[in-house]
A and B are shown apart, each in its own frame.
Chain A
């Protein structure tokens, strides 16, 4: 397998401009002859489907939820970055590019990140034109806030519901195209396989979740925008139905999976409260603008937070990283919280928590100002914990949140399977080993609105392939495989729910392959995962049949894929014998506990190629070339 990034040559600043001119165009009259499948309707999928339809392509869009508006992008709280420099505080495309490269610990492609920073400005314009109600100043202009890993205010927001408002913007554009008949929307329909004919992606096999019917759809190109895989840890900030199935099945069909070990543990989530829990709730990073993080200096301090005097508190982020303070990037803030709790300084019943304290800000700005900024988050916190964060500090702890790894794509966002494109969190491309806050929304919309509409044309113009009928033998074979797989799940007829096995996998993964990893733990985990998988295939119980709405069957099929994918994740974490960003190998740290990269051996993308069942996948390497940025130790001190 050859990993050709297809990054255009020439100066960084003009690569995208020139590439847009160089790509072949599809004549407007010909666009309607091309059919595109978009799987997923979040920011990346929704914006891509709407924009491609607007250009004249015939689009089929799929989501497993009951409406495209419910994709998990909706849950993003804090904001979206853009290099607008409306605050006049020294922001620029280059600074956003640099912050993102550095934030990703120098493990992403320069050209992709620069393009992302360039189109960030268009995204805000586009969203405002759609009627997205961003926060505004009294003068009527857009407001900004700060986010982790940046010293400028470049984050646009809509209270604590930025993802929702951006997704509703994309959904409204998509709805318009659905109304025009240019997009055919398939809700409650889950993709279960990609179909290749002569090595090219030519369609997908799906299950209609209501009728249970297995169906094939054929197209000239397939776009996956199916999100990340954090629920491999069972408890995460993701929606409970987020899954790796679409990307993992594409991997099994030959798409390389890049950097699966790059997972992001978000520092500010509500701590776990018991074993009944099904998900963890994120408290937006924006809270770190006005909240101060601390733990008591003495372990086992039983006093209420407000009774602990200032000199007996350790504001550890402010102490360790004076220039970024509470706005240190996510991986660093998460690890610091873990360190504090490992040292026995944690707070709350479980002792796995640290304080996020707003008392100073409330004194300085007043309760009303804080309520205007974060009212809905405070409300959410109170509902979940039964505690009032205006009166006592929040307790927070890190939780799996975002996955930087994903299917490998080239500069055109095409995977190693010709005709299979991957957008948003589902690909690996822009965030390196750690994503900065407010950059996921930016990337999803950049890919969907401003990148794929150009680059997909290049693929169509290069070779015209007639549509393959869904009666083609490859479709029939894929349908057969999907049907057999579901039947296999139903046939096990054991005694455990798939959820209980998923929880077991997740606990193991978070423990051994979460915030900190080491060789011994990873090797041990690689032995244990097959055991859990065996338990699953011998003892799972899936009631009912496949010919109806059967949520237990949907869940079991997703867990089955997580049980295979978890192994790939650990394998990648073991092979990457360095620490970088969210991937922290305990063997590789500086004296003061910071991640220690090994640029000589690991300044590359690792992309895994599937070899078949019970065979070890092959690790391929795409070297990362830094022509503009000097590799340096990532310091936020």
Chain B
């Protein structure tokens, strides 16, 4: 439709374009994988990592891309770095006008949105052989990268969510490390009280910012832990169930018991981690990928301990949400073969080891036995994370309208937790609204 409109106005706009050529300087097509004259496929890659900055992951990316470009002569990859919160919109917009990158980095929860937006294409025909060859060595629950049964991307990074606690703070308030979530809440309440409400004992961020992600990263696995799910197999919301109510009641208990106060209404994951760094958050459930950054703060270091998230019964773990960064193939690429070649290179044991050395949790089991991991200061911890992923990692469904759902859910959660809204009623309201809207 837009195309028609543009064609109609094209003539009138001709002059405008002509001025563009003279004043505007370089007119570059956007990421249209044009072949160079020498038969080298120019591939553009859009990712949230910055190869030019000081971040070790960005440097690892640069090494890998340089390595790929040097390893063969059929393709050359150039990286464009974009802000992680903006990249999805940019890719979808670009793809809808016939452009966009050949290779795009996508975070698993956003995959369905890209499929809906028509920005990526399925990679079954390329990846299936590789995956069956990798077999059990490929740790990541690959179903998370499937939309409507089709493989849309290849995860290259794993994330699990862990119970974080500041050992120094627990020691200071003479509280022992929790073995169940109830203990964690009790310990958190004791700390918050003893500190004169200055320290949040157990923080679950309830801010609407980042679409309520910090809340969903707990509500989802808790619900699973009680035997339910957020989105059922039929694509309908199913959290207004006994399991969903138990999960919400557990989070509410943390507030009612005094382990967290209204300050969590201003917190997203960023603020929770800031609190851990500053020593104003004693315990939280946060992602493995943020541990290194938190430990780098002065006075944190080894005082930050991680554990698989305990459940409400001792000796049993909560399931963990599993998410990760993936590589997907742009919808408009002219060189799918070369894109796949790059993906394979990116997922090779060598590349994975490079990322592992930069603090990324790999997706290949064998890489955990490599030097890169063995040399890491927290080698045992990394193996513990891997095992938690392998045994308790759960696949979540992230439909295309997940952002809207999670925003509505966190708003409802605020009301349930701090305004006394009835849990079953509030959950069913959001669920009904979602199930009606989608259809």
Q: Do A and B bind each other?
A: no
Chain B residues in the interface with A (C-beta under 8 A): none
Chain A residues in the interface with B (C-beta under 8 A): none
